[in-house]
Amino acid sequence: MKRKFLTIILLAGLISLACTTRVSEWVLLNSLPNPYTLIYFHNSPITESIKKQNLAVKEKIRTANIQFQTVNRPGITGPYYGLYYKNRLFSRYETAGELTGLSSSPLREKIATELMAGKLCVMLYLKTDNAVKDETGLNTLRRAIASSPFGKIITVVELSRNSRDEYHFASMLLNVEDDLKDIQEPMLFGIFGRFKALEPLLGKGISEENINLMISYFTAECSCLIKDDLPGTDILFPHKWENPKTALLNKIIDDNPELGY
């Protein structure tokens, strides 16, 4: 598995450019989330009832970063919906009922609220529901946040990969890389900007050193390298992202100038 964001962290530390806006703030203010595509595949004429069904689906997701299409695909055994991100299939749904909650959920609402309130990032800990494995990584995460000068502006949330209420959200996180679904290890995702999730730290990779590297990325001065090759996967969410609060990071750096370098 690639760890693209670690490479960018190291490069960012070597490049000194004029922009003093920090990565987390710049992405929130300037980077539009990439869209998903939801496709209804069919192999026969679409009935009026299906047209109405699809109109209802479109209405429910219309304010999110997603496009809806219908595609005639001969040879398939029956109609279905496919959710794509950057031309990669994330999920397949046999019925419209399975799409309930696709674009929004309580935890996604909470995370967006934290980002809009000026928090540096949200650290999402995706649990396996194996108590021993999960607690080991959580303890490491708690120590790293407690010892960081930016800990007070980092929100930590936990999510079971088996959550029924957050099924779609967990599925999107497990599609940030194409081989995550089969890995039964805790995962730590850094979420920032307009709901962009970095590639996760996994299992024993959830170390204080790696967590601090992730924090260093969010607090780094933005560079052309980062702007042109921004890492992370956008999460599906219906939000306009207008008028966020001032980044809380700025006051910490103003009060402690040595942290700005």
Same-domain check for residues 55 and 162: no
Number of domains in the chain: 2
Same-domain check for residues 156 and 83: no
Give me the pLDDT at residue 158, please: 98
pLDDT digits (tens, 9 = 90+) for 27-61: 999 999 999 999 999 999 999 999 999 999 999 99
Same-domain check for residues 132 and 95: no
Is residue 6 scored above 70 in pLDDT? no
Is residue 147 scored above 80 in pLDDT? yes
Give me the pLDDT at residue 256, please: 86
Domain range enclosing 53? 36-99
Mean pLDDT of the chain: 90
Same-domain check for residues 184 and 80: no
Is residue 14 scored above 50 in pLDDT? no
Is residue 239 scored above 50 in pLDDT? yes
Give me the pLDDT at residue 20, please: 73
Is 206 within the bounds of a domain? yes
Same-domain check for residues 170 and 194: yes
Q: What is the 3-state secondary structure (H, E, C) of 91-123?
A: EEECCHHHHCCCCCCHHHHHHHHHHHCCCCEEE
- The CA distance from 159 to 124, in Å, is 7
Is 28 within the bounds of a domain? no
Least confident of 4-18, 26-40, 212-226: 4-18
Same-domain check for residues 54 and 109: no
pLDDT digits (tens, 9 = 90+) for 219-233: 988 765 555 678 899
Same-domain check for residues 88 and 126: no
Mean pLDDT of 170-188: 95
Give me the pLDDT at residue 9, please: 46
Task: Calculate what percentage of the chain has a pLDDT beyond 90.
Answer: 83
Same-domain check for residues 87 and 113: no
Domain termination residue (choose one: 76, 99, 122): 99
Is 31 within the bounds of a domain? no
Domain at 51, CATH number: 3.40.30.10
Give me the pLDDT at residue 21, please: 86
